[in-house]
Amino acid sequence: MLGNGVVGILSESMNKWERRVPLTPSHCARLLHSGKDKTGVARIIVQPSTKRIHHDAMYEDVGCEISDDLSECGLIVGIKQPKLDMILHDRAYAFFSHTHKAQKENLPLLDKVLVQRVSLYDYELIVGDHGKRLLAFGKFAGRAGFIDFLGGLGQRYLSLGYSTPFLSLGEAYMYSSLAAAKSAVISVGEEIATFGLPSGICPLVFIFTGSGNGNVSHGAQEIFKLLPHTFVDPSRLPELFAQGTDISPSEKASKRVFQVYGCVVTCQDMVEHIDSSKTFDKADYYAHPEHYKPVFHEKIAPYASVIVNCMYWEKRFPRLLSNQQLQDLTRKGCPLIGTADITCDIGGSLEFINQTTSIDSPFLRYDPLNDSYHHDMEGDGVIFSSVDILPTQFAKEASQHFGDVLSQFIGSLASTADIAKLPSHLRKACIAHRGALTPLFEYIPRMRKFDSEDTAESHTNLKSSKNKFSILVSLSGHLFDQSLINEALDIIEAAGGSFHLVKCQVGQSATAMSYSELEVGAHDREVLNQIIDSLTSLANPDESNGILIKEGNKISLKVGKVQQNDMNKGNSKRKAVVLIIGAGRVCRPAVELLTSAGNTSSHEWYKACLDTEDTDYEEQNVVEVVVASLYLKDAEEIIDGIPNASAVQLDVMDGESLCKYISQVEVVVSLLPASCHITIANACIKLKKHLVTASYVDDSMSSLHGEAKAADITILGEMGLDPGIDHMMAMKMINSVHVRKGIIKSFTSYCGGLPSPAAANNPLAYKFRYFLKLLTV
């Protein structure tokens, strides 16, 4: 089937906003009409979709076939990953899979690929000779993200008492085209140039982080330049605020400012060498970031109105802003209004951005002084956006740009069965071929090995019982494209050690470094020393032997302190993690009960339920609970004051986010309306996680019995008043009698909505407590 020249185009299913396509009708027309001998493409079959930016009829008009059935296709392409049940046996697939990062939430997809003997190509890994990714949407992310933020900026200023032209802007997806969106920004710029901005919000300074040549930053600056503007060197920012200091408050109130300011900052503006006698050196900074201290909060942030974050960041580098630094800046009256985190780097260079936002609800407000998050524009703090699917807002133009590149080598992928015959940039992007990982990606199962052994344990517990000595090792360099990570893991395993992947970030281009943190363990101190010596030799090869070592084949090594773990000490209780979806009134009691498991009071509660003094029962697990809600503040209110509980924002209709959180737990509890359970249940089956719901089991849930059984999971339904609590109370009484060697002669249970006489204040003397359709009379 591979190499048969038949191409399939997937219907995108992971996110409701995903309207992009890998190939537009015009690309398909060129591929089909030029002939298979020239393009390698004989047929194109398109799965039908009613939300795709290009209608099915447009594909039919150029000769494509419309069908849900892609079984005749040797190559199937999409933008995001398809649902697992859509992956066909012995086919080639190309999409953004993210599986090469060995992240837990993406591994079920990789498993499916291997089982189905699939050949998988990841667009993210297709890199040209110039070292940059060939297939990317970064510029469109920058454009959409900046337009979205300008509209939010107008709303925020209005809440602070200022009317600005930005208020007229909508979100990027609201415009029919990129050109229409640009036209709207130009109109705003014309109004600023003509009527000005209130002096109370000026100078209005936009700080752009990241490489000046980066696509994301370029896209954002492209929109910024449509406004009347001046770019300022970072060193001259203080001068903007020194101007007009001699103007009286009354004069300033009436004064208008007719432009905005931009400032592009790179890493040399964000840090300084800890040795004041040394200047910034980019190569040294990348190799030894510990030699540098952050200064962004001192030299740049005090003058920023808006931070447009476009930079790639790794944990080993200093942050742009920590929460403490932002608090200090706020107390000093910093003019910062908000941040457009276009890179959507959660918990990254801007510490306070700890969650994604969505196209539906793109902004959150963070109050640094109270360390709280809010879904409105009113009140203290800064606003931020962190949408992770920005390019789809310009689906038409983004698809055209993407297909212009993809169509150049789609024929090679469609007509070649042997990857050895592919060009090197495509061959290196193949993660798996015919169900086996290719050599560049053989590190993935080794990285996941430790996680699969102790999925539920925290990082501190992983220092565990298995190894008496452990050490944190940081590796950076061309770890993956040069297979250096495989060499490092070989060294650890050959010496008899073990490792746990703490952090992994893959460089986004051929020139970018990758970074991994490994916790390396060994039972013997000498074994650990041997591992460190061997890793050091790998990082510092002996060139005196006459062997020329290329710069690209080197790695940077940073070793922490050796930790000796007490083999006889520690908590013997295993930590389990439960995800509760929904933050209604019944949620908090559930969180309190679950998080109490493992403590003395909970043991007494379990014994009371059994009504026995027998202490021979299984030791309870320590349970950590994650509460997920569409609105983060609701989840935060639920967990307030409860230990071992955390809150996250989650839209269950966002399949990617749903799978991400479910993959990290053992049990899911859905407290959402019954109509939402089927979506959650399907995700639980895919990820093999148990599910408990608080609703009756309807036909749609019953139909999942076979799939749940095959996945070896339990899906447990209704446990409410009827037939739940009454049955439990009944069994408690019956068990109590049996424990005392008694005999049950009869048992009658009364259940319903009969109120107390004092509350029976209607003609029926009856009150409804549940959905009327379910009431049996």
- Percent of the chain scored above 70 by pLDDT? 81
pLDDT band at 417, cuts 50/70/90? very high
* Burial group, residue 452, by CB count within 10 angstroms (0-12, 13-18, 19+): exposed
Burial of 671 (0-12, 13-18, 19+ CB in 10 A): buried
Q: For the chain, what percent of residues have pLDDT higher than 90?
A: 53
Structure letter (DSSP) for residue 469: E
Q: What are phi and psi of 685, to 5 degrees?
A: -65, -45
**194, containing H or E segment:** helix 178-195
- What does the mean pLDDT of the chain come to? 84
Q: pLDDT (tens digit, 9 = 90+) per residue, 756-774?
A: 777 777 776 666 555 444 4
User: How many Å from the N-terminal Cα to the C-terminal Cα in the chain?
Assistant: 61
Q: What residue type is assigned to position 227 of the chain?
A: L
What's at 496, amino acid-wise? G
Q: What is the pLDDT of residues 74-110, one digit of tens each?
A: 999 999 999 999 999 999 999 999 888 777 778 899 9
Whether the Cβ atoms of residue 32 and residue 64 lie closer than 8 Å to each other: yes
Give the pLDDT mean for 249-256. Answer: 59
Q: Tell which residue, 706, 628, 634, 699, has the closest CA to residue 668.
A: 628
347 pLDDT band, cuts 50/70/90, is confident
Amino acid at 662: I
Within a 10 A sphere around the Cβ of 235, how many other Cβ atoms?
10
Measured distance CA(681)–CA(697) in Å, rounded: 12
Q: How confident is the model at residue 719 (pLDDT cuts 50, 70, 90)?
A: low
Task: Evaluate if residue 262 carries a pLDDT over 90.
Answer: yes
pLDDT 10s digits, 289-304: 888 999 999 999 999 9
CATH number assigned to the domain covering 445-541? 3.30.70.2690
Residue written as token pair 């007009």: 244
Q: CA-CA-CA-CA torsion for 133, 134, 139, 145, nearest 10 degrees?
A: -60
Q: How far is 110 from 103, CA to CA, in rounded Å?
A: 10
Confidence class of residue 776 from pLDDT cuts 50, 70 and 90?
A: very low
pLDDT at 617: 43
For domain 6-135+395-440, the CATH superfamily is: NAD(P)-binding Rossmann-like Domain (3.40.50.720)
Tens digits of per-residue pLDDT, 648-705?
Answer: 999 898 888 899 899 989 999 999 988 899 999 999 999 999 999 988 888 889 999 9
Question: In the prediction, which pLDDT does 547 show?
Answer: 38
Asked whether the beta carbons of 577 and 617 are under 8 A apart, the reply is no
Confidence bin at 117 (pLDDT 50/70/90): very high
**pLDDT given for residue 563 in this prediction:** 67
Identical fold for domains 445-541 and 575-719, yes or no, is no
Structure tokens at 127: 């890199």
**What is the arithmetic mean of pLDDT over 591-620?**
57
From 713, 518, 689, select the one nearest 102 (Cα to Cα).
Answer: 518
Please tell me the number of Cα atoms within 13 Å of 574 on its side-chain side.
9
- Average pLDDT for 433-447: 86
pLDDT tens, 39-62? Answer: 999 999 999 999 999 999 999 999
pLDDT value at position 161?
95
Specify the DSSP element, H or E, that contains 384: strand 382-385
Confidence of residue 259 (pLDDT cuts 50, 70, 90): very high
What is the model's pLDDT at position 61? 97
φ, ψ of residue 385 in degrees (nearest 5): -125, 145
723 pLDDT above the threshold of 60: no
Q: Is the peptide bond before 203 cis (omega within 30 degrees of 0)?
A: yes
Q: Angle at Cα 84 formed by Cα 686 and Cα 87, nearest 5°?
A: 155
Domain spans in the chain, listed from the N-terminal domain onward: 6-135+395-440, 445-541, 575-719
- Specify the CATH superfamily of domain 575-719: NAD(P)-binding Rossmann-like Domain (3.40.50.720)
pLDDT at 171: 96
DSSP string, 653-693: T-HHHHHHHHTT-SEEEE-S-HHHHHHHHHHHHHHT-EEEE
Q: What's the rounded Cα separation, in Å, for the pair 290 and 271? A: 11
Cβ burial, residue 31 (10 Å; 0-12/13-18/19+): buried
Query: Taking 70 as the threshold, does the pLDDT of residue 462 lie above it?
Result: no
CA atoms of 613 and 740, how far apart (whole Å): 12
